[in-house]
Amino acid sequence: MTKSTPRDFDRHSLDGLGLLRAVVAAGSFVRAGEALGLTQPAVSRAVARLEDRLGVRLFRRTARSISLTEEGLRFYEAVAPHLAAIEDAATEAGSASSRVRGRLRVNLDAGIGQFVLTPRLQPFLEKHPDLAMELVVRDRMGDLVREGFDVSIRFGLPEPSALKSRLLLRSRIVTCASPAYVARHGLPRRPSDVEKHECVLMRNPATGSHFEWEFVRGSKIVPVNAKGRLTVNETGSLLAACLGGQGVTQMLELYTRDLIADGRLIQVLPDWADETYPLYAYHHSAQLMSAKVRTFLDYVVALTRER
């Protein structure tokens, strides 16, 4: 594309920015068109007009995929939060009864999606009938802006980022085994005993190895060399293996509390369970936060406090 001098923005330019956001979220011109009720050629022409007005190419186009160029990413990072605020202002001006609407894309940990959020979404969606949600499970957060996400909910310490982070809770890390496993192999009596047991391990996506095990009581920390033949990469499989009697495992109390209470799991070394792991929500600038994001975060805060 020949670089041109950027022109003054008008209503059509603003429409083009909304379409840009739809393309980033959908990942293709075709899917963006389907979401907006437009044909693929109409979407392509609108993007071309926006590129012409800006004087830069926003997308790399191939036969198989599209992706933001470096210039396109910088531009989108700058305008995306403002677009959400504009959408909210337009909604509020048009109808105070339907402020929370549109599509909300959430990036989250598998365990949070499976055990905490998805089973409890019905009241939230019933309250906001004009809102559609897309939950995307990833083992790492990635780039929220580049991938068109509104919110991310993830365990672990925040990494340096322009995103805003909000601590939701700290869940204890507990060690568990099934009654069947304990009947066959007995219970560890001290942290070092765990090294003699078959352990079910969880892969750390940041390192490619499994998460290291340690036991914490007050200020005392005892690392152990947990060994096992089974390593998994998501919470559902970890929990299923433990329930199936495969071995001893460590996981978040957030997922095991009910199972321990009803006897399906036995907590191992409960006096050594003072280690905690934080759960954070990530979003764009609080000043430009959309109504749908703000309302969703309030709902998640209430859910995690219940847990």
pLDDT at 307: 61
Does 244 score more than 90 pLDDT? yes
Ramachandran bin of 285, using left for φ above 0, alpha for ψ from -120 to 50, beta for the remaining angles: beta
Question: At residue 31, does pLDDT exceed 90?
Answer: no
C-alpha to C-alpha distance for 119 and 133, rounded to whole angstroms: 14
The two tokens of residue 129 are 């009938």
Strand 199-202 versus strand 230-232 pairing type: parallel
- Label residue 174 by pLDDT band (50, 70, 90): very high
Q: Which of 73-77, 89-93, 144-148 has the highest mean pLDDT?
A: 73-77
pLDDT, tens digit (0-9, with 9 covering 90-100), for 63-86: 667 888 888 888 887 777 776 666
Residue range 175-179: mean pLDDT, rounded: 97
What's the rounded Cα separation, in Å, for the pair 91 and 80?
17
Residue 295 has pLDDT above 60, yes or no: yes
Mean pLDDT of the chain: 83
Q: What are phi and psi of 175, to 5 degrees?
A: -105, 130
Q: Measure the CA–CA gap between 163 and 78, rounded to whole angstroms.
A: 13
Say if pTM beats, i.e. exceeds, 0.75.
Answer: no
Q: Which of 3-7, 117-121, 224-228, 263-267 has the lowest mean pLDDT?
A: 3-7
Please tell me what DSSP assigns to residue 297: H
User: What burial class does residue 109 get, using C-beta atoms within 10 Å of its C-beta: 0-12 exposed, 13-18 middle, 19+ buried?
Assistant: buried
Distance CA 254, CA 235 (A): 11
